[in-house]
Amino acid sequence: MKGIIFDIKRFSTNDGPGIRTTVFLKGCPLACWWCHNPESRSAGIQEFSVGSSSKTQTIKRIGECWSVDDLLVELEKDRVFFEESGGGITFSGGEPLMQLDFLMALANGCKKRGIHTAIDTCGFTDFGNFDLLLDKIDLFLYDFKQIDEIIHQKYTGVSNNQILENLKFLHSKSVNLVLRVPFIPGINDSENDISNMVLWMNENTPSFKEIHLLPYHSFAKAKYHKYGFENKLAELPEISESNLLEVKRYLMRNGFNVKIGG
Amino acid sequence: MNERIQKLRLQSLNAEYKISAERALHVTEFYKTPSNYGYSVPVQRALCFKYILENKKICILENELIVGERGPAPKATPTYPEVNLHTIEDLKVLDSRQKVFFKVDSETIIAYRDIIIPFWQGRSHRERMLHQMDESWLDAYAAGVFTEFQEQRAPGHTVLGDKIYKQGMLEIITEIERTIEKLDFFNDPEAYSKREELRAMAISAEALIIFARRHADVLDSEGRSDLAEICRRVPAYSPRNFHEALQYYWFVHLGVITELNPWDSFNPGRLDQHLFPFYQGGLEEGTLSKESAKELLEAFWIKFNNHPSPPKVGITALESNTYTDFALINLGGLKEDGTNAVNELSFLMLDVIEEMRLVQPSSMIQLSNRNPDNFLHRALNIVKTGFGQPSIFNTDAIVEELVRQGKSIEDARNGGASGCVESGAFGTEAYFLTGYFNITKILEITLYNGIDILSGKLIGLRTGDPKEFSSFEMLMNAFKSQLNYFIDIKIKGNNIIEQLFSVFLPVPFLSTLIEDCISKGKDYNSGGARYNTSYIQGVGLGSVTDCLASLKYNVFDKQHITIEEILKAMKNDFIGYEGMRFELIRNSPKYGNDDDTADDHARKVFELFYDSVNGRPTARGGTFRINLLPTTSHVYFGSKIGAMPDGRKAYEPLSEGISPVQGADLKGPTAVLKSAAKIDQLKTGGTLLNQKFTPSFFKDEQSILLIASLVRAYFKMDGHHIQFNVVSADILREAQKYPEKFRDLIVRVAGYSDYFNDLGEDLQNEIIRRTEHNGPV
């Protein structure tokens, strides 16, 4: 079986515990305005012509086709570091569940090799899909972007209905889960946004207590320009450090363990 | 640090580097005196040593706790005309060069012109040695195939064991006399030479006692009777407490670096082990507190900083362009019985290292599987502050390396690393570094069929025109022949030079300190030590690997470039061949990415180098071995090589240690460590791996834990050593622009730390280029 990935990052230290290798699967059902990897949205291999003038232009290919077996060999290379640090492999994207069979084969392979697995997911997938992953994934890094459905729809292109349902399902299965909240000025950082999120969680997923706040940064700006994507967040201000700390304190008062950054 | 230490530290930092003619004048006076003509060489050397210590100016600074200077003042650095006679021109260069300068006053120039040069001209070791080297050696040396450690400095590179903490010099003299009594002049043909050597040892031991008592006299006259008492006690008798132990070592250190200018200087080695009984005893008796112990250690640290490496000129300056004299203090590791050696003093010394922030002494931690994590974490928290210390060594690998070389497991566990990264059995081994070996240059010579392209001279073998090589194996065979040819030249030279030191420049004082010189009646320079090793240090592993990988991939596998085209591009330094160069850099396999297609070449080159050197006998009855470290020779060696098939432009620095080519590693630190661990490091006497990180990698406790597991994993794969440069490239660029603002910026160079300002511009650039792994945002 084969799948399409667009990057492998070793010594990844922000996608779960320990030293990890993160593999980025291509394709995403969402179109978040703040997306750091806009070139990963489309499911197929893409070619971009990059460079400022016709002379310096070169073709950049995004996406590579890998077989499960070859990829597992590559991913296992840092095993000694995983073992020493309590790390492992993280599936990220894109949205890894977009290539569900490929993902399951990879995760299965990891489990057989005794390697810890984590998945970085937006949660937007058909009901029932997460059920297939329960015995293969040790840690879910689950994005929580916005509790208000209208706003969610506006900034990500999809309703959050399914995402919240899937989150409730994972809660009912008592999985290890960390909520990852991208923290974006003007989009989900108001007092209202945060308190509504807390209310929802207390009611629906009370045992999920780990939150990672991921402050928005504009590093991806150059990428949007390079590949010719429209950057709807071009003019966004940088995060205010004090606001971030305030939110952290608020969440901690509400019983959450909060980490800033991954 | 308290006010006293602050003042002493500042005094040391601000002291001027200058040449002192004092020692050279004493040596000259001694050798000019007719009554000294008649002695055997070792006795003459010992009497000369005694003459210096009886006559040199005693320098004791206000408020000092540990006393004694090699020169008349801190950083006033002596010369060794019997080894290397500086010319007036040399002295002018030393005085005026921008980096690693030594000021020379007119009195010194006059002394050299009128007294020192007229006497030593034609009698120095350097001249004697160069007369002995044949044309093939001189050609290879001039072409930058190898360097020679013993051209301007004596063999050294040894570390003291625990002898002096148990025995005073008087007791050692008694041991020597007993050995003399037992000499058998009827049956032992070497009895005479043994007696002369042993007599010389006794004279030099006595000389150190005299030297210490002269300090005591001055201290008495200044009313500092407490220190005077210590200087009357040690080194004559064994130390009774912490303070005496430190002062004893310091006198011994001065003795070793006054007798000759050994490379590396000298080293107390496992200081936390040797001092621990005195520390514990002092605390129990109430005569010592943690604070007073720390103050004494800091005073001790400062003494090292007062003693720069003796002035080097020419190629020797290029291969090791630094004030550092490589005294590397070892902390942690294993006890003789194999148990965890980390103690309270190990931690206290880490505090001292952090507070002192001095280039000298160098410091490292030994990390065994049996050492606790909090020890490593504490060390990494100092590394984080960004002055390159302490470096981190794998004790279990060192022990295995030493045992493989034939040492007993106890001697191995009592060992560690010295200099940059070199494994040794402390107190029992004489391990000489003999010179760096430019492995990449060997490939260049191979590609030009024996010719040194920069001079146009035929210096190697005619191993064939590479255009006619139909397979990669043919190229490798040619490379192997050239490698063996030049290793033979180097080894022949080494064996002559080793004999020259044995015959003309024995070191009876150092010989009293290293086992089994006394019982064998043999000098340290003649094979008196229990273990004798000579190293050839390979340089440019990453560079030569990338060149071979590029040739294999582009010429023989893909066949999209011919070797003729590559050679043409190389001869033109890629001018007009930018497209090909881009291809060679971007699309060829590179060492450092955990990619076997490249790393297999590293393994192969390593094995060839190992087979060529390892196990061959040395002139003093020892064994040749390899290690892989560069100091600053990778910059010098790069300047002796034209453009190469990996896309490297002419004269650019080579890769350093076993690190990848600067900028060639694109898969992060774990891939670098995996690549580096593919060579069989246990077959070396040390490898050097430099990892540069931005400060963000060490930002919090969580990050430190990750770095710690990175280290542990590398050591699990038998990695020998790792060091971290924690500084951002932007800061370095800033420092290059505004050196005056960054006078205190210390970076890890290669096995040692140095002031960024003191580095040559090309080395500065190279450090900036070394891959900067981007940390978590």
Q: What is the mean pLDDT of each run of 10 residues along chain B (777 residues)?
A: 96 96 98 97 98 98 97 98 97 93 97 98 96 98 97 93 98 98 97 98 98 98 97 98 98 98 94 98 98 98 97 85 93 98 98 95 97 97 88 98 98 96 97 97 98 98 97 98 98 98 98 98 98 98 98 97 97 96 93 97 98 98 96 94 97 94 87 97 96 78 94 98 85 82 66 71 77 40
Which two three-digit tokens encode residue B160? 């003291």
Among chain B residues, the shortest Cα distance to A15 is held by: B776
Q: Measured on CA atoms in the order B562, B568, B570, B574, is the torsion positive or negative?
A: negative
The residue with tokens 């399951």 is A104
Nearest CB among A18, A261, A262 relative to B709 is that of A18
- The band of A262, judged by pLDDT with boundaries at 50, 70 and 90, is low
Measured CA to CA, the distance from residue B10 to residue B113 in angstroms comes to: 35
pLDDT of residue B753: 61
Under an 8 A CB cutoff, do A77 and B703 touch?
no
Residue B551 CA to residue B478 CA, distance in Å, equals: 14
> Looking at B347-469, which runs of residues are DSSP E strands?
362-367, 391-394, 416-418, 422-424, 429-438, 451-452, 457-458
User: Shortest CB distance from A10 goes to which of B668, B717, B776?
Assistant: B668
For every residue of chain A, DSSP letters joined together read -EEEEEEEEEEE-SSSSSSEEEEEE---S---TT-S-GGGSSSS-EEEEESSSTTT-EEEEE-EEEEHHHHHHHHGGGHHHHHHHT-EEEEEES-GGGGHHHHHHHHHHHHHTT-EEEEEE---S-TTHHHHHTTT-SEEEEE---S-HHHHHHHHSS-SHHHHHHHHHHHHTT--EEEEEEE-TTTT-SHHHHHHHHHHHHHH-TT--EEEEEE---TTHHHHHHHT---TTTTPPPPPHHHHHHHHHHHHHTT-EEEE--
Q: Is B703 in Cβ contact with A11 (below 8 Å)?
A: no
For residue B776, list chain A residues with Cβ-Cβ distance below 8 A: 13-14, 261-262
Residue type present at position B326: F
In total, chain A counts a number of residues equal to 262
Query: Could you give the CA distance from residue B304 to residue B420 in angstroms, rounded to a whole number?
Result: 16
Instruction: Tell how many helices (H) and how many strands (E) occur in chain B.
Output: 32, 18
The answer to whether the Cβ–Cβ distance between B777 and A77 falls below 8 Å is: no
| SS3 state at B621 | coil
- In the prediction, which pLDDT does A53 show? 59
Task: Name the DSSP class of B773.
Answer: B
Q: What six digits make up the tokens of B268? A: 């107390």
Q: Is B59 marked active-site?
A: no
Q: Which helix (H) or strand (E) holds B318?
A: helix B314-319
Q: Is B344 a catalytic residue?
A: no
Cα–Cα distance measured from residue B352 to residue A217, given in angstroms and rounded to the nearest whole number = 40
E-strand ranges in B354-510 read 362-367, 391-394, 416-418, 422-424, 429-438, 451-452, 457-458
Residue A244 half-sphere exposure toward CB, CA atoms < 13 A: 19
Give strand pairing partners of B531: B429
Rounded CA-CA distance B739/B725 in Å is 19
Q: Tell me the backbone φ, ψ of residue A58, rounded to 5 degrees.
A: -135, 165
Q: Give the pair of three-digit tokens for residue B488.
A: 């033979």
Could B670 and A262 be called an inter-chain contact, meaning their C-beta atoms sit closer than 8 Å? Answer: no
Sign of the CA dihedral with B131 first, then B133, B135, and B140 last: negative
pLDDT confidence of residue B749: 63
Range with the poorest average pLDDT among A50-64, A235-249, B36-50: A50-64
CA distance B761 to B44: 44
* Contact residues on chain B for A87, CB-CB shorter than 8 A: 709
Per the residue annotation, which of B420, B515, B652, B656 is the catalytic one? B420
Cis (ω within 30 of 0) for the bond into A94? yes
More confident residue, A232 or A29: A29
**What does the block give as tokens for B468?**
């006619």
pLDDT reported for residue B773? 45
Other C-beta atoms closer than 10 Å to the C-beta of B468 total: 9
Between B239 and A190, name the one with better pLDDT: B239
Q: Would you say the pTM of this structure is higher than 0.90?
A: yes
Distance, CA of B610 to CA of B591 (rounded, Å): 19
Average pLDDT, chain A: 92
Within B329-372, residue ranges assigned H as helices are 344-356
Instruction: Give the rounded percent of residues in chain A with a pLDDT score beyond 90.
Output: 75
Question: Residue B777 has what pLDDT?
Answer: 27
Residue type, position B71, single letter? G
Q: What is the pLDDT of residue B476?
A: 98
The token pair at B177 is: 């006399």
Per residue, what are the HEC states of B79-137?
CCCCCCCCCHHHHHHHHHCCCCCCECCHHHHHHHHHHHHHHHCCCCHHHHHHHHCCHHH
Per-position b or e across B93-109, b if 16+ CB within 10 A of its CB: bbbeeebbbbebeeebb
Q: Is the peptide bond before B390 cis (omega within 30 degrees of 0)?
A: yes
A82 contacts B709 by C-beta, under 8 angstroms: no
Residue A54: per-residue pLDDT: 59
State the pairing for strand pair B76-78/B18-20: parallel
Other CB atoms within a 10 A radius of the CB of residue B17 amount to 16
In eight-state DSSP terms, residue B451 is E
What does the buried/exposed string (b/e) look like for B725-757 if buried means 16 or more CB atoms within 10 Å of the residue's CB? bbbbeebbeebbeeeeebeebbbbbbbbbbbbb
A11 and B670: CB-CB below 8 Å? yes
Partners of B417 in the β-ladder: B423
In this prediction, residue B775 carries a pLDDT of 36
The pairing of beta strand B721-726 with beta strand B391-394: antiparallel
| B668 touching A (Cβ < 8 Å) | yes
